[in-house]
Structure 1
Amino acid sequence: MDPDDEHPSRRLVRTPIGPALAEAVAELAAAGVASPRVDAELLAAHVLEIPRGRLLLVDAMREDELRRFRVLVGERARRIPLQHLLGTAAFRHLELSVGDGVFVPRPETELLAGWGIELARSGDIVVDLCSGTGAIALSLADEIKTIDVYAVERSPIALEYLRRNAAGYPAVSVVAGDVTKPGLLVELTGRVAVVLCNPPYVPDGTPVPPEVAEHDPAEAVFGGADGLDVIRPVIALAARLLKPGGHVGIEHDDVHGDAVPALLREDGRFAEVTAHRDLTGRPRFATARRT
């Protein structure tokens, strides 16, 4: 017997978890949620305060747990982002604090972060532009302990999340700044080994899911008529910041598979321009080396 059930206040009716999960999966699927079973299981695990992998060991929910679970499922069915309901977003080895007003990091961006981690060496300076929650910057600091990382973000709300997530990472310097403005990080000119950036890049007017349209800040999603309004100045900024032989990696929309590599070549200060695809085969980010 569960020790909690011995207390009178905990002697509550239990509901089998299998039917509750099935009901939740059906509700989320009907609402158009892309991964209804995964989301239902993550919400159940969140309510039960256990890892998702331990759900197989649970056969029932108490009344209060079932009630909270159904409320969360209803909110997810209204297309509130799963990460907002959980309060965190997983990214590589991290759990990042997220919520309304900050862009939720996507799994595909882990590829860009991993590319940067493979390149960075002890003693290097790394700059993460358009840092948002700090997903890329903190992954670098977490997996390479002896580098200095500068995380640049302009949104006041995103900066709150960034500073919260960066607490405990002394190697990460949070910088409030606009990547499109000249003079940013002038003290690092010619000293940076790796510049990484996941900028707003969706072309204006592109249809996006409700989770994005209603909850991700538009300034972190849309990048002008062609989606390149931020990427163009980022390329120029990277060219200034990087030392000879330094590298830049920029995530982009899947319609930019040719455009971003072309912009890097046209700048004239980069070599080894390379286009990278994500795990689904879509164009995802471009990299280059500073000459």
Structure 2
Amino acid sequence: MSSRIVLRPAINAAAERLAAAGVHSPLVDAELLAAHVLGVERTRLVLTPLVSAQVLAEFERLVARRAQRIPLQHLTGTAAMGEIDLAVGPGVFVPRPETELLFAWALAHLEAVAHERAPVVVDLCTGSGALALAIAHARPDADVHAVELDRDALRWTRRNADLRVADGDTPITLHAADVTAPDVLDELTGRVDILVANPPYIPADAVLEPEVAEHDPPRALFGGVDGLDVVRAMVPAIARLLRSGAEMAIEHDDTNGADLAALLARHGEFRGITEHPDLAGKPRFVAAWRR
């Protein structure tokens, strides 16, 4: 009979190693890696106090890579949004927990859309498909459209979309298109009820953590000197797409929310412009409705 090893001391040692490497949530990451290797939820680690030498070796291998500041999601292969998990890896932006607030905003505002027709939802700069697919999962009655230009990201989006359909979710419509093009989604002009966007919004001179700077694709991160170049180009198309009274929300860097709100105000087609903070109180997204 093979010997079994107590897991908790290994997790604690891994947390110390990750903390020394500068990882912000060392114990959580160590536990998530252990849960990934065991194929269980993190909350159920207590039910597996002993592991084999092979399991421990795989765990320690992943911890060593995490200590090199490789993103946790690249090691586990998944990231969460709403009630779904998405496949992620090199070549696509890893969805952030903060974007859950934008997702929750979309669901809350979808409740107000007339029930006699399918609400039309658009997700610009969809990346892995996180927002579009989470919305489609939560609202199978919605007609969800997602737009992405980057070819590497599109491969991940299609993979995730196929996985969601295989799991029984309503398909989304994926558009390989430039969100800054004047005619993007021209066929949806004046028909969109809810629009969300998580565009490249980081100012060019921002100092980033290694997980971001070295592993997220730069095209998905940076939005020019002030971080709003892509947003500026998107705003006219957003105004064109939204039906009267429809609502939109755009995620932004915590340094440029007021500038985004002012940009929408200058455009003249938006009302109820509201800045929303995240759970840490930092500016996170701006919402408005089409007059």
TM-score by length of 2: 0.95
Q: 2:137 — aligned with what?
A: 142
Q: 1:22 — aligned with what?
A: 12
Q: 1:131 — aligned with what?
A: 126
Query: 3-state SS of the aligned residue for 1:203?
Result: coil
Distance in 2, matches of 1:82 and 1:263, equals 35
Residue-by-residue CA offset, 1:19-48 (whole Å, 9 max, x unaligned): 111110111000000000000001111111
Distance in 2, matches of 1:24 and 1:48, equals 16
Report the Cα offset of residue 58 of structure 1: 1.8
C-alpha contact 2:182 2:236 (8 A) present in aligned 1: no
Q: 2:99 — aligned with what?
A: 109
Q: Structure 1 segments of 4 or more deviating over 6 A?
A: none
Residue-by-residue CA offset, 1:72-95 (whole Å, 9 max, x unaligned): 000000011000100100111110
Report the Cα offset of residue 60 of structure 1: 1.7
Q: 2:146 — aligned with what?
A: 151
Distance in 1, matches of 2:187 and 2:39, equals 46
Distance in 2, matches of 1:233 and 1:113, equals 23
2:158 paired residue among 163, 187, 192: 163
Alignment of 1:112-261 (within 5 A): 112-120=102-110, 121=113, 122=115, 123-167=118-162, 168=165, 169-261=169-261
Query: 3-state SS of the aligned residue for 2:193?
Result: strand
**Is 1:55 the counterpart of 2:50 in the alignment?**
no
How many residue pairs end up in the alignment?
281
Q: Any unmatched runs of 5+ in structure 2?
A: none
TM-score by length of 1: 0.95
What percent identity do the matched residue pairs reach? Answer: 51
RMSD: 1.0
Distance in 1, matches of 2:49 and 2:226, equals 51
Report the Cα offset of residue 241 of structure 1: 0.4
Q: Any unmatched runs of 5+ in structure 1?
A: 1-10
C-alpha contact 2:137 2:170 (8 A) present in aligned 1: no
Query: Given residue 112 of structure 1, which amino acid in structure 2 is its aligned partner?
Result: L
